Amino acid sequence: MGGVTRSDAVMIRLEAAKLTGQSILAAEHEALYLWRKDLEERREVVVFDPVKGFSRRSVPENR
């Protein structure tokens, strides 16, 4: 699949927050926002299934 996962994005921002003194909550919010924007640009959504967990699905284009 490739790319940065949600947990990767959050962990990277949290580490950066520790180094710069930024609020952990603000860093997590920013990481999740950037991750969501990345999914939107690739026309994907994240869905949750209680059995399978989280997964990405492509969004079909409206024609």
Q: How many domains does the chain have?
A: 1
Residue 45 in domain: yes
Q: What is the pLDDT of residues 25-53, one digit of tens each?
A: 887 788 778 777 877 777 777 777 788 77
Is there a domain that residue 39 lies in?
yes
Q: What is the pTM of this model?
A: 0.46
Contact call for residues 13 and 26 (beta carbons, < 8 A):
no
Is the model more confident about 41 or about 63? 41
Q: What's residue 62's pLDDT?
A: 62
pLDDT digits (tens, 9 = 90+) for 1-24: 456 676 777 777 788 888 888 787
Work out the end-to-end distance of the chain between its first and last CA atoms, rounded to an integer number of angstroms: 26
Per-residue pLDDT, averaged over 56-62, amounts to 70
Is position 17 within any domain?
Answer: yes
Answer for the pair 18, 10: CB distance below 8 angstroms, yes or no: no
Let me know if residue 21 belongs to a domain: yes
43 is in which domain, residue-wise?
A: 6-58
Residue 1 in domain: no
Identify whether 54 is part of a domain.
Answer: yes
